[in-house]
A and B are shown apart, each in its own frame.
Chain A
Amino acid sequence: MSQAGAFLLGDAQADRVVPPTGMTARLTLFSAAVMGFVAVCALALALATGRLADRWDDEMARTATVRISAPEAQMAAQTAAALRVLETTAGVAQARALSDAEQAALLAPWFGPDLPVEQLPIPRLIEIVETGEGMDPEGLRLRLAAEVPGAVLDDHSRWRAPLVRAAERLRLLGWVVLLLIGTAMGAMITLAANASLAANAQVISVLRLVGAQDSFIAGAFVRRFTLRALAGAATGVALGCAAILFLPRAQAEGGFLTGLGFQGWHWLWPLVIPPLAAGVAYAATRAAAQRTLKDMT
């Protein structure tokens, strides 16, 4: 920690020996800022999809539906029988038949609000909320088949699994994008550092002539690029956070697209990006400097 502090405070003498460079400095700052901005967006995507995957996994895993398809005359009796079976099923916390109004509301997005549900042969739906331990869906299916012939249990696993898988892939993609951003930043800093070292070959030659060790020469370049990356990434992260802040707030109606920001303590995550960018710049410049100094006789 004290070494990091000393590094950030710097060696005023080492800082002075390398001449200030305009274009390389501005390009490094700009690139680091862009990388910081994109990293915040990728981080927001990764965290949002992570939340979504967790929510789908959690919420849908704890709910199920029983659909009763029976002639009009037997519908009430079979619904009541199914409810009785569910009341005595371990792992079922709550089971209730949806009202006509609730079923109409479910169908409204497809058929409009004035659907005469009572005149149509629509199956009755029973909503099940499971306990924390969960129920045994196969056992329930067998009981329902025996006691309520028109009942079909849907525990959502058929369509929940691909959704959760897709969300997890998106989360993975977000992290891969972050990794690629870090790699691209390392490559960019390496190029800039190499250009700077080559442009300062005369300076390095003079420093060596007067007895400078490689660590002194490399340190002057490494500190400069590390601080530029830190400052650029911090600026990019601040702009990225501001952009995320102006995204629409999470709403149930909007679904995934309105939940693309940071929530709660996740707002702390972007703070990790500038030090990471500085770390990448430090490693990239150090490697470039050591390689160049080794090649220079």
Chain B
Amino acid sequence: MIELENVAYGYDGGELLTDVSLSLSAGSFHFLTGPSGSGKTTLLKLCYGALVPTAGQLRIFGKDRQDMGRDDIAMARRRIGVVHQDCQFLDHLDVSDNIALPLMVSGRDLLAEDANLRELIGWVGLRERARALPPELSGGERQRAALARALIMSPEVVLADEPTGNVDWEMSQRLMRLLIELNRMGKTILIATHDLALIRAAKTHVQARVLRIAARRLQLAGADL
């Protein structure tokens, strides 16, 4: 689905990632860990085409990133659900409309998708908050709304950047259960997190590869994970 081969990426001349190789195959579950500023978010951005590698080869759904125009990237993002730590929303639209945003931009008939939308809102436990505006939501509600928005197009891949960063342990467990459930449905999942306890807890429920970024390189985490 998404393949990185000896990829490097740098900002302003300095290299942040070097010689990164990663293959996100269908139905796989990956954790990505590493200290703050190590390049987890950058690697996720590379995976959904927001950044272009400075070296190496990146293929998104079989297409070389170098050959993809802005419209190609837009089409690829309809197949990749992204959950950001800061959960960007359109504050003038309510939760339901924000979750339906990917349907709107892809020209899908909202009426035809209404049942799916309501089911998804219920699945992430936001039925009572569907008409609330994003600034009225708590941290956990925002994370769940972001997850629902990432899933509304039934993407093949879900990339989550610190999805439990702003929520308490109970909520992070609940979000993790949702992601594990998605993986059981066949979705490819990549979660960037520095929360090792969360990874350990999740690994008791799902077979996941844990990767660590250290010294600008991507490597398999140690046996403790």
Contact assessment for A209 and B92 in the assembled complex, using a CB-CB cutoff below 8 Å: no
Q: Could you say which residues of chain B place their CB within 8 Å of the CB of A203?
A: 90
Instruction: Name the segment of B3-11, B98-106, B202-210 touching the other chain.
Output: B98-106
Q: Does B89 contact A (CB under 8 A)?
A: yes
Q: Could you say which residues of chain A place their CB within 8 Å of the CB of B110?
A: 13
Q: When A202-B88, A205-B88, A206-B88 are in contact, do A213 and B104 touch as well, CB less than 8 Å?
A: no
Q: Could you say which residues of chain B place their CB within 8 Å of the CB of A208?
A: 74, 77
Contact assessment for A209 and B104 in the assembled complex, using a CB-CB cutoff below 8 Å: no
Contact assessment for B92 and A20 in the assembled complex, using a CB-CB cutoff below 8 Å: yes
Q: CA of A19 to CA of B82 in the docked complex: distance in angstroms?
A: 23
Q: Does B50 contact A (CB under 8 A)?
A: yes
Contact assessment for A210 and B71 in the assembled complex, using a CB-CB cutoff below 8 Å: no
Contact assessment for A209 and B84 in the assembled complex, using a CB-CB cutoff below 8 Å: yes
Q: How far is the CB of B93 from chain A (nearest CB, A)?
A: 7
Q: CA of A214 to CA of B72 in the docked complex: distance in angstroms?
A: 11
Q: Does B212 contact A (CB under 8 A)?
A: no
**Of the candidates B51, B71, B88, B153, which one forms a contact with A209 in the assembled complex, judged by CB atoms under 8 Å apart?**
B88
Q: When A17-B105, A297-B50 are in contact, do A210 and B70 touch as well, CB less than 8 Å?
A: no
Contact assessment for A17 and B88 in the assembled complex, using a CB-CB cutoff below 8 Å: no
Query: Which residue on chain B has the smallest CB distance to residue A19?
Result: B92
Q: Does A139 contact B (CB under 8 A)?
A: no
Q: Does B162 contact A (CB under 8 A)?
A: no
Q: CA of A211 to CA of B79 in the docked complex: distance in angstroms?
A: 9
Q: CA of A217 to CA of B153 in the docked complex: distance in angstroms?
A: 19
Contact assessment for B93 and A210 in the assembled complex, using a CB-CB cutoff below 8 Å: no
Q: How far is the CB of A192 from chain B (nearest CB, A)?
A: 19
Q: How far is the CB of A211 from chain B (nearest CB, A)?
A: 4
Contact assessment for B70 and A213 in the assembled complex, using a CB-CB cutoff below 8 Å: yes
Q: Could you say which residues of chain A place their CB within 8 Å of the CB of B59?
A: none
Q: CA of A297 to CA of B52 in the docked complex: distance in angstroms?
A: 10
Q: Does A158 contact B (CB under 8 A)?
A: no
Query: Which residue on chain A has the smallest CB distance to residue B84?
Result: A209
Contact assessment for A211 and B88 in the assembled complex, using a CB-CB cutoff below 8 Å: no
Contact assessment for A206 and B89 in the assembled complex, using a CB-CB cutoff below 8 Å: yes
Q: Could you say which residues of chain A place their CB within 8 Å of the CB of B82?
A: 209
Residues from 190 to 226 in A contacting B, C-beta threshold 8 Å: 202-203, 205-216
Q: Does B78 contact A (CB under 8 A)?
A: yes
Q: How far is the CB of B44 from chain A (nearest CB, A)?
A: 12
Q: CA of A209 to CA of B50 in the docked complex: distance in angstroms?
A: 9
Q: Could you say which residues of chain B place their CB within 8 Å of the CB of A14?
A: 104
Q: How far is the CB of A113 from chain B (nearest CB, A)?
A: 76
**Of the candidates A19, A216, A293, A297, which one forms a contact with B105 in the assembled complex, judged by CB atoms under 8 Å apart?**
A216
> Taking each of B70, B89, B107, B149, which has the highest tally of chain A beta carbons within 10 Å of its own beta carbon?
B70
Contact assessment for B90 and A211 in the assembled complex, using a CB-CB cutoff below 8 Å: no
Contact assessment for B105 and A211 in the assembled complex, using a CB-CB cutoff below 8 Å: yes
Q: Could you say which residues of chain A place their CB within 8 Å of the CB of B77?
A: 208-211
Binding site for A on B (CB under 8 A): 50-51, 70-71, 74-78, 82, 84, 88-93, 97, 101-102, 104-107, 110, 149, 153
A206-B90, A213-B71, A213-B105 are known contacts; what are 14 more A-B pairs with Cβ within 8 Å?
Answer: A13-B104, A14-B104, A16-B93, A16-B104, A19-B91, A206-B101, A207-B105, A209-B84, A210-B105, A211-B74, A211-B77, A211-B106, A214-B70, A214-B71
The 6 closest A-B pairs by CB, nearest first: A212-B105, A211-B78, A211-B77, A13-B104, A19-B92, A210-B102
